[in-house]
């Protein structure tokens, strides 16, 4: 799951037209960044669900990290006020229903928000190694994601 960070503030500060432009820019970045068999759906106002068929947690996290990097580059054009997106990732093995899977991913998303936003948090079983987490700003700093 992905959710714009402080979207209400963006709308309140720059107007709803800027919010609409941000959503369109994000949609274009998603379209360019992901595989054709990946599925993305708007889940609410500024929240999205991502489905990555045949990807494990680490590969899904890497795909979202690349998306964050592409978003930083797209925002450098200056036509849309700066915004970030946080992500929560869960594997389908971690749930017995789609509703439960969304709850697990949403919990990871909430953790990303709580840990500073513009992050990717992964809900992984204890037996699996913890994936690296980072944010799209790492690209501008020239740093690799940190765990």
Yes or no: say if 73 and 98 are a contact pair by the CB < 8 Å rule: no
Q: Is 46 a catalytic residue?
A: yes
Please give the Cα distance from 59 to 37 (Å, whole number).
Answer: 14
Please give the Cα distance from 115 to 85 (Å, whole number).
Answer: 13
Torsion, Cα 143 117 8 137, to 10 degrees, reads: 0
β-bridge mates for residue 122, sequence order: 89
From the candidates 46, 70, 121, 123, which is the catalytic residue? 46
Active site residues: 46
């Amino acid at each position: 799951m992905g959710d714009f960070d402080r979207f209400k503030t963006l709308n309140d500060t720059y107007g709803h037209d800027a919010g609409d432009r941000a959503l369109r820019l994000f949609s274009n970045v998603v379209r360019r960044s992901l595989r054709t068999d990946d599925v993305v759906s708007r889940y609410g106002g500024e929240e999205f669900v991502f489905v990555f068929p045949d990807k494990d947690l680490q590969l899904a996290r890497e795909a979202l990290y690349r998306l964050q990097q592409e978003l930083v580059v797209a925002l450098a054009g200056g036509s849309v006020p700066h915004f970030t997106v946080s992500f929560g990732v869960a594997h389908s093995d971690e749930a017995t229903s789609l509703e439960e899977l969304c709850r697990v991913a949403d919990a990871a998303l909430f953790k990303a928000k709580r840990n500073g936003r513009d992050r990717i948090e992964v809900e992984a079983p204890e037996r699996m190694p913890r994936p690296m987490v980072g944010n799209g700003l790492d690209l501008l700093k020239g740093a690799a994601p940190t765990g």
